Amino acid sequence: MYHRVHGAGTTANSLRQHLRYLTDHHPVVWPGDPLPRKELSVCLTFDDATVDFFHEVYPLLDELDTKAIVAVPTRYIQVVTEIPMQARLEAQGAALMSGDYTNAGSPLCTWAELKLMQATGRVQCASHGHGHADLRDPHTNLDEEITLSKRLLTGNLGVAPQSFVFPYGNTRPEITERVLTEYRYAMRIGTALNPGWDNNGGFLYRVDAEHFWPQGKVWSFTDLVTYRLKYLSNRLRNK
């Protein structure tokens, strides 16, 4: 699980080295892809569809001949924009500081950019809700977050999304059950390894990559053991 990479206190080369390490040592897959039995596969997911995904991550995916999922909060996506990229990157930083994801300054990818990336086969778009709302909040409109976001992604990109990425990583069993009636896969955080795509009916855990790549670290054997134990703990607690 990744978020922003621009202005993350490091250089684009740090992310390049990190992704190169992953692609050199692990099969990079999308949900549903066949999994080698004796290898640890990796699925790369980037939340929020901030414009740095288009500007910095997508070129690296092409350079390294690999692929990733981008999770899109559909309410904030413009069709196109004429705003220069540097101004959009600056607007992205301001939006993150304020928590305001409105379209002022076009801080997120546009529908045109998302469609272009998806068409190359490097990028798969997932729903990140409509308004990036906490689905556990009783005031959240689940029809908008779950159903409308899927309809907008399908209509604008021509392909129905297969995955839903929970905003803030938050969910409850009954919410997850609803999501999985409309999407094949549902992703939270959980900090755990997944034995396979369908072990939990498509409910998948993610590891926060921001503990690794900005510092140039990779996971250790101890980390992997911990992630396996965390999977068992999550399942026992129905988390």
Domains of the chain with bracketed CATH: 12-236 (3.20.20.370)
Strand partners, 126: 71
Distances (CA, A) of 122 to 18, 114, 166, 171: 17, 11, 22, 28
- Residue 201's SS3 state is coil
Question: Are the C-beta atoms of 1 and 207 separated by less than 8 Å?
Answer: yes
Half-sphere exposure of 186 (CA within 13 A, CB side): 24
CA distance 218 to 195: 20
Say yes or no to pLDDT of 210 above 90.
Answer: no
Say yes or no to pLDDT of 120 above 70.
Answer: yes
Residue carrying the six token digits 């092409």:
62
User: pLDDT (tens digit, 9 = 90+) per residue, 12-33?
Assistant: 678 888 999 999 999 999 999 9
Say yes or no to pLDDT of 239 above 90.
Answer: no
Residue carrying the six token digits 């086969």:
121
Average pLDDT, the chain: 92
Sign of CA pseudo-dihedral 217, 221, 222, 227: positive
CA distance 202 to 180: 7
Say yes or no to pLDDT of 119 above 90.
Answer: yes
User: pLDDT (tens digit, 9 = 90+) per residue, 58-88?
Assistant: 999 999 999 999 999 999 999 999 999 999 9
Residue carrying the six token digits 């559909």:
74
In eight-state DSSP terms, residue 87 is H
CA distance 208 to 12: 18
Average pLDDT estimate for 47-67? 95
Average pLDDT estimate for 110-138? 96
Q: Rounded to 5 degrees, what are φ and ψ at 124?
A: -120, 130
Which pLDDT score, from 0 to 100, does residue 215 have? 77
CA distance 145 to 134: 9
| Distance separating the N- and C-terminal Cα atoms of the chain | 18
Distances (CA, A) of 144 to 31, 63, 119, 184: 24, 36, 26, 18
